[in-house]
Copies of this chain bind each other. A is one copy, B any other.
Amino acid sequence: MLVHKQILHLPEPFRTEGGVLLHRPQVVYEAYGRPDGPVILITHGGLSDQHAAGRYCDEDPAPGWWDELIGPGKPFDTERYRILCMNALGSMYGTTSPSTMNPETGCRYGPQFPEITMVDMARYQKAFLDAVGVEELWLVAGPGMGAMLGLQLAALYPESVGAVVAVAGVGRTPPGAIATHHFIINTLRMDPQFQAGWYDLGRPLLAMKTVHQFLRINSVNEDLLKTAIWDAVQDGPEAQCQRSRAIDRYLTATVDVDVRDRDPNCYIALLEAINSYDLGGQADSYEEGVLRIQCPVLLISIDTDADYSLQWAEELADILNTRSPGQAQLALVDSPWGHLGCIKECEQMSEPIRKFVAEL
């Protein structure tokens, strides 16, 4: 499937929850599938982008991040549905964010980008959908931050969202995830080259390399290291030193490339938005906030995801099912990939997603 990136300017300035106006707001997005089909909105993970499926050209070495799930005959079937995926507000891949130009100053927003919330991001998604003439979402689906954005959309616009598939995402950010995010934010801000957010964009912060090594530790389960690296070395006098060097290489490999063109201000903007995410944040209680969701919900948890563990998905499902038995379904995926399982384990997710979609 060949796809291309599109850009759209929203017709109106966007006002954040904090009251700041973003002028000439822009959205980078991709569209797949049958133009007149019911609409599926795909929402991406925190460090990801709008390129959910397909390739940009025949030589493109890798397809989009959920390509196994999106395409002809796949669980999100492009022969039946119109599928949209936009880069989220605050994300560094072209949608209005700390990386983009502030039309009022002619310079990038940088640290002057306003504080945003997941509610802002959901409202921004809605403004995009309005701009492209989509009134109703047949379904919204995404991993990680995208899962939470889908739930937030369903809670904010219950009349417009037909169903949610939330992979490795829950109704409010759990404490372990908050700690992880603060660690990343603090690490970036402590770098002397960070310069209160006015760093030199062409020269990646050393702290970004630290953060990306951390993300690698944080996302993998010991079993993965054991199977992929440890077991490849035969026991013997030099074995442990070889294993240690191999694990270090795993931690550092491609980090220099990974951090190129990444914008730390965008990491901070999104992580802070995620840290304040709470479906109960606009209600008197968490339960009341969750119960604004009226549509069927499929929650898929990754068994090794320490930051978004099953118990938080269960809590959310219980609230919905206590009111409306069967509204929420839960599926558990086995993975050595921790939170990253949400994009690595498409094969395992296919079955519960197909079943959920078939029943809608």
Contact = CB atoms under 8 A, between A and B. Distances in A.
A209 interface: yes
Interface in A198-216: 206-207, 209-210, 213-214, 216
B241 A276 contact: yes
B285 A175 contact: no
Given A187-B210, A190-B209, A222-B306, A240 B182 contact: no
Q: Is the interface of A mostly helix, strand, loop or mixed?
A: helix
A36 interface: no
A138 interface: no
Interface string A250-292: 1110000000000000000000000111101111111000000
Contacts of A131: none
A217 interface: yes
A175 B226 contact: yes
Given A192-B206, A222-B174, A230-B175, A248 B217 contact: no
A178 interface: yes
A179 B282 CA distance: 41
Interface of A: 172-176, 178-180, 182-183, 186-187, 190-192, 206-207, 209-210, 213-214, 216-217, 220, 222, 225-226, 229-230, 235-237, 239-241, 243-244, 247-248, 250-252, 275-278, 280-286, 306-307, 309
- 10 closest Cβ contacts across the A-B interface? A240-B278, A175-B225, A176-B222, A244-B275, A182-B248, A175-B230, A178-B247, A235-B286, A235-B285, A190-B206
